[in-house]
Structure 1
């Protein structure tokens, strides 16, 4: 099922700015410059993320061609891998049936599936973290060399995938091992093994970071070795959220399982028999992730997605000890999501120029599929997965019909691609790589302030200017093409900009 999610997402959904377009542009610039050590965005060293994703995308491009499908498949392929590892870890703790159930529960979390199909780092980091937890399990089972070796390698992989965030997912379970290990341990030996694994992981990370810091210059070195980590943890320069952020969003993050009566009965039932101590491993891993990220200044919804498989294993272990009750709420919730999509335009719930019909059709598809979810209510895990699949299908139906046209800037690329080696390209305001890979640009664009746009255009008669704005454009001339975009407008000016152009309906811009 996870593989179907991946293929459907890549085939039906456009690249979503700014994250997906930015990461593909960084990978593209790495390919253009042949600088495999220091990632770049618009010609400048890019310190916000380590290079693992960009390396893997370039390996895939080298093998299969420079296609968007190939690049998008690289991170998304780790979603089914993560589901398989969930089954493996769940099987090691509670037996094969529990592992299989945990894998099915994992794909029944909407945030896990959606984040895992994006050109981002979450599915990759999830796979590394699950493999690291398997390493800890092996070490606790007595095979310390193999277990701590795997744990150390996965710490290193996590550092190269998303920096120190990987430690947040893995270290609580390692440090709190006395709470979950079933076998008697020599704790001095255990913590020596943890320190050794940590040294292996940090060594892997530094094997890239130190040469990259030397090659990228002082500012880049300071950012990757210190600034980005402290900036996100203590006083986030981006995505700063209060400490209660994840607690407030928990009902949404856990959908549809937050509506499960099986879950709440199991959690509140004080008469249940205690499970194996090993069961605590996944609860410590999931709970530690949420607690530590709550204390970190920078937060996003998808940051905690790698904790979902551990939570899924915990739920499978809980429900394995009791008879499952039917879950009618899953079908009802799916129907209501579809109804909301149908009503979102008549009720004017979106204050943008969104096309109505894709939302209505996507909502109707979701409502129809909710009948299947209702029919499966006697099998909670299957019903939850079906609910996610139904909502996923409805959302991608509206995407392919143009419902996400306001987030699709691909129409700009013919104007920019024609400028390769010929015309200069300027972006007014800010630029986050939205067009670099899409237009296959072979050199940086010029980022200019709005007040400089007129002079720049006057001095570049064959240039191309792109601007996204909410209030007014920087140039008085009518753009050669104009579309609604992300709550405002997106326009392109060239030397041919002369005649008035009416904004296109968003549904017609795909």
Structure 2
């Protein structure tokens, strides 16, 4: 039987995880995949199930080599278990988020105590970028879980070891991170501060002798994780030896990894980009950092590796992703659990102060004022910004239905402030944030889904071509193929739109009475007859049209786009 303290710790953890489940799962099943990334991965997973081709992901008729297939495997598994993709596509992110929180709690509990673990997990959960990314079916939640698992195994071995199995598990998880997004290797950067602190004989750091083969076992475990997919994939690709598959190997193993890091061609930003990201988006977490700097400095003087191994790793990750020109906000998310772990021991003491609850309470009130005020202004005054947003989402009026939910979020903060009062201001802030994160998806997902997912446009296109009609997609997006109501024809995704349209017209000419071309209206060329174009409407700020056979000039050679 567990001691009373342990039973209390597990009870608190169970309640925390229940709250986390409610916050992170709110809205699942109420929407379809939304661009830019979700429809792509859901489409690839759906095609995996249909074709049985698991080693080489496909997007339509083309191989998809931008990302390894780990996320798509998991989404396909959830689709198979649940019989559909409406809610299944978000389950990997949900369980990755819950797993990350559980690992953060466990790591804090093992290194310090259960209260520190709970505070560390709470800091992660209350951070806006964490909830935002877990709410989306992207690769990053799963990548975050693997990296946190890698950090957990390495930290516990180095600071509470020796525990070679945990160390090997951590290295193996880093390998799984590589076949998830390629950057799982950053978990192994934790060994750099360990080596430095060990060389300087910091107290509490594992000192071993004659265990070189066991340390090398970590490299083997890392490579085994990578080989689970890379091994069979290379065997199949070089067995087939077609240009298509050989190009896939080159792209996924070299261009999308080493070349993308050394010579980025997308999302180019300044070297200080991530510092701006933290200041702008890591709310309210970063507000505690200035207060904690003196305590971290004292921990450095005391040579406390439980604080400075995670902190040093965060600095290394920040430097690692700041070197290449290509940067995205999501890259540094894996820092969050380790930063929370370095913050939590001191937040426990800060909770006993008078100023922190008061600051948190008035921050709660301020959030209520901002959301309620902004929502009321948009609802009543219909400013230009509100009308532009409503038009982009194809909402009625000036988006009154959307602004009601902005007001509801603000009211949630006011309710939390009224219930908890200044003496329990931290609880007020956490409760207000939780209410907001639950209310928003429950209210807005059904409101925005038809437009964001292109569900309505694809339904309208299906109705327009009639029961005997056939449809070809040109200059399409992944959500168009995913939401198609019947089998469609496509001529590649990455090909030039003009080449796709030329092939589509040749296809249409074979049966002009029954064949239609669905395309982004920006792809229309000079051969289109404007009066014959059927407008399907706007979805996700893109206008789509349908071309019957008489919507193109016979024998015309296009000389440019119509726009």
TM-score bracket relative to the smaller structure: 0.7 to 0.9
3-state SS, counterpart of residue 100 of structure 1 = helix
Counterpart for residue 335 of structure 1: 369
Q: Distance in 2 between matches of 1:150 and 1:310?
A: 18
Question: In structure 1, which of residues 322, 347, 356 is the aligned counterpart of residue 383 of structure 2?
Answer: 347
Alpha-carbon distance change, 41 to 273 in structure 1, aligned in 2, over 3 angstroms:
closer
* Contact in 1 for aligned 2:22/2:438 (Cα 8 Å): no
Counterpart for residue 331 of structure 2: 303
Q: Deviations over 1:100-131 (max 9, x none)?
A: 11112211011101101211122212221221
Question: In structure 1, which of residues 148, 154, 161 is the aligned counterpart of residue 173 of structure 2?
Answer: 154
Deviation, 1:455, is 6.0
Q: Distance in 1 between matches of 2:446 and 2:88?
A: 23
Question: In structure 1, which of residues 383, 389, 402 is the aligned counterpart of residue 447 of structure 2?
Answer: 402
Alpha-carbon distance change, 154 to 421 in structure 1, aligned in 2, over 3 angstroms:
farther
* Contact in 1 for aligned 2:171/2:219 (Cα 8 Å): yes
Counterpart for residue 506 of structure 1: none
* Contact in 2 for aligned 1:334/1:391 (Cα 8 Å): no
Counterpart for residue 126 of structure 1: 144
Report the more deviating stretch, 208-217 or 153-162: 208-217
Q: Deviations over 1:406-451 (max 9, x none)?
A: 423012344677899976543333x342233333766762257356
Counterpart for residue 556 of structure 2: none
Q: When the two structures are aligned, how many residues end up with a matched partner?
A: 493
> 1:24 and 2:42 equivalent?
yes
> 1:358 and 2:401 equivalent?
yes
Counterpart for residue 487 of structure 1: 541
Q: What are the residue-to-residue correspondences of 1:124-203 with 2, within 5 Å?
A: 124-140=142-158, 141-163=160-182, 165-168=183-186, 170-178=187-195, 182-186=203-207, 193-203=214-224
Deviation, 1:179, is 5.0
> 1:37 and 2:65 equivalent?
no
3-state SS, counterpart of residue 54 of structure 2 = coil
* Contact in 2 for aligned 1:336/1:367 (Cα 8 Å): yes
Q: Distance in 1 between matches of 2:214 and 2:78?
A: 35
Q: Distance in 1 between matches of 2:347 and 2:460?
A: 56
3-state SS, counterpart of residue 15 of structure 1 = coil
Which structure has greater helix proportion? 2
3-state SS, counterpart of residue 256 of structure 2 = helix
Q: Distance in 2 between matches of 1:134 and 1:195?
A: 18
Q: Deviations over 1:219-262 (max 9, x none)?
A: 0110122111023212223323222211122222211234x4x5
Question: In structure 1, which of residues 360, 367, 374 is the aligned counterpart of residue 410 of structure 2?
Answer: 367
* Contact in 2 for aligned 1:425/1:446 (Cα 8 Å): no
Deviation, 1:62, is 2.6
Q: Distance in 2 between matches of 1:306 and 1:43?
A: 34
Higher CA-based Rg: 2
Report the more deviating stretch, 126-135 or 389-398: 389-398
Report the more deviating stretch, 246-255 or 411-420: 411-420
Q: Distance in 2 between matches of 1:341 and 1:55?
A: 41
Q: Which has the higher contact order (CA 8 A, sep 6+)?
A: 1
Deviation, 1:158, is 0.6
Alpha-carbon distance change, 391 to 302 in structure 1, aligned in 2, over 3 angstroms:
farther
Counterpart for residue 317 of structure 1: 345
Question: In structure 2, which of residues 219, 224, 232 is the aligned counterpart of residue 211 of structure 1?
Answer: 232
RMSD: 3.4
> 1:386 and 2:431 equivalent?
yes
3-state SS, counterpart of residue 490 of structure 1 = strand
3-state SS, counterpart of residue 106 of structure 1 = helix
* Contact in 2 for aligned 1:75/1:120 (Cα 8 Å): yes
3-state SS, counterpart of residue 290 of structure 2 = helix
3-state SS, counterpart of residue 479 of structure 2 = coil
3-state SS, counterpart of residue 264 of structure 2 = coil
* Contact in 1 for aligned 2:472/2:517 (Cα 8 Å): yes
Q: Distance in 1 between matches of 2:215 and 2:426?
A: 35
Report the more deviating stretch, 18-27 or 264-273: 264-273
* Contact in 2 for aligned 1:159/1:201 (Cα 8 Å): no
Alpha-carbon distance change, 67 to 157 in structure 1, aligned in 2, over 3 angstroms:
same
Deviation, 1:317, is 1.9
Counterpart for residue 449 of structure 1: 497
